[in-house]
Structure 1
Amino acid sequence: MNLPELIKGGESETLEFKEKFDERTVDSAVAFANEKGGTILIGVSDKGVIKGTIIGKETLTQWANQISSKTEPQLIPLIETHELEGKKVVTVKILEYPLKPVSVRGKCFRRVKSSNRVMNAQEISEMHLQSTGMSWDRFPAAERTLEDLDLEKVKRYMRKAAETGRKAFAGDESPLQVLEKMGLVKGRRPTWVAGLIFRKDDRPFLSQAVIHCGRFKDHTFVIDDRLIEGTLFEQIEEAMAFVRKNTNVKFVMTGRPEREEVWDYPLEAVR
């Protein structure tokens, strides 16, 4: 670790300067653990000036214990002493914690650029789901039943997936068995993602699960506007149709049986 070069680069998402060890040092440790990990330099001012710090016989052990005892789950820092410009500087290295978020005094912090920010309830929930390999859409949908799903849409998906070679299903598999195998039905209840993909037309799962398309002539004048609802598959198709409708196309005769379509904006870019 080249400390002079690190200090020269200034504070960042993975580096924090502290003139002394205090409660905010533990906050930084938590913020680093909740992101990519990082290093805290004790004895360096916010502007990167080496101030040094006083190190006693039990100082490093006490600092490590403070971080471990105040964090939940407990963090185990890697602490080392260095000498720069004849002064003592301590590095407190924090590894990214696998099960997030980590908290201190009942608060969870995350690193945003070169500062620590308190996380709100939604951020805490999302971080926990991500760290456990889960997401909200894989959980059973509240107050929903299999009656909310259109099994004919599942059958169409099965046929299309088989035709394109993306998935193979046994000939005797029912739509419900396929949903269960894919983890879209749990305990006889549809997950949120099952509803977003295969819901019945008259049974929306999430009111905010829509696509709002608009074509602007300038910053304030809208010349075409559409709110697209339906399943995710249907929304993608209708959104693409909206883009095609509002994109100029030029037909080029190449001598081949089919003419070539040249769009002002390549359709591949929006797929």
Structure 2
Amino acid sequence: MTQGENQTAEFKSSLKLLNEIGETISGLANTSGGIILIGVSDEGKILGVDIGKKTMEDLANFLKENTDPKIYPEIKSLKIDDKKLIEISLKESDEKPVFFKAHAFQRVGKTNQRIYASKIRELAKQERVKLHWDEKICERANLEDVDEEKVKWFPEKARYERRLEINPNTSVREALERLELTRNGRVTNAALLLFGKNPQRFFLQAETRCGRFKGTKPLKPFIDMKVFGGSIIDQVDVAVDFVLRHISMAAWVSEGKVEREEKWEYPPDAIREAIVNAICHREYEQGSNVQVRIFDDRIEIWGCGLLPEPLTVEALNGRK
């Protein structure tokens, strides 16, 4: 407090200044983060503030309900010179711009300056470059939404197949941090897709629809149709099983041999790879799901999204 207000510190004399506090939250979130002390005058004099049973909860709810994306700062009470203060601290947001009541602000020195269309577009463009959808925090989720058993299973599997050294006894929080599936202690969209108890609670489109059609066109009546939810790891396994149930396998015993030989109508490894690619590389921000369509003469696997630059369809087809 001896340093006064600055780029990362703001004083507010009273909780009656809720809108000003909200504007500061937006400003700090869009700049470098910082703290707000409530119960301190602009000059740094300690005034104190009344803190009731629901004061902290009401303040947290006010900020959450009036910010977009929602901000969940750390709020705690302090006692200095026998006077109570409230400290709000937050880091620079991973998702910019952060709005308060439909307006966005940024810190310039010790003031909050409203930002307008050109700056908002600039922040949004920077954000698109910096963070992919799967890296972003899922604001409605927490560690309770992550399946502990799935997280414990993965390090052992990954260590065997990819030489990823994570102790199986590591806590869920630490394992997710090692896998870079949390940001500032919050779970990311990718964490929920991979290990969520119910990812579809947060992402309705995160499912795989499999169908076996009669003939060569996607027309009713179909022979079989299933929609698979759960984690994307589970979806790969059940989608592959669905395909294998609906394609043919030839089997024979060659002359002079004891063991039976088998050959699938389509190579199972190729089917799995195609399904994995569709599920893992799709654009989850879009509303459509992954589709696996089996016809009499072919299999189609659909996943919405664009090829990562600089790949093109022509290049993949060998024409460029």
TM-score by length of 2: 0.42
